[in-house]
Amino acid sequence: MSNLPFTLPHCTDPATERLEVYSPADGRLHGSLDAIGYICDRHGAEAVSVAESANLAAYRTPMCPDGVRTCGQALVFAVSAGGAR
């Protein structure tokens, strides 16, 4: 479903949080916003740790109230094309 460099935890619950996923660039921890993941309460902490184990920075933010995403969905903005690795 996504091209994330890691696998988000997922379930059938509605997402309650967004996970902003940044890849480092130019020595800054959050160089570019690469993806938004959608996660439920139960999977928030796990989602952060899988992102971090892929050397990405992840931040949890509250979902907008009218969001209709399911836990584990993701929106990927950038495909790393020979970038910072």
Q: Rule CB under 5 A: which residues touch Zn ion?
A: 11, 13, 40, 43, 71
Beta bridge partners of 58: 21
Looking up tokens 């480092």, which residue turns up? Answer: 24
* Rounded least distance, CB 53 to Zn ion, Å: 18
Q: Which two tokens stand for residue 16?
A: 């309650």
* Rounded least distance, CB 39 to Zn ion, Å: 6
| CA distances in angstroms from 2 to 7, 29, 57, listed in the order given | 9, 23, 18
* Rounded least distance, CB 70 to Zn ion, Å: 8
Looking at the Cβ atoms of 35 and 40, the one nearer to Zn ion is 40
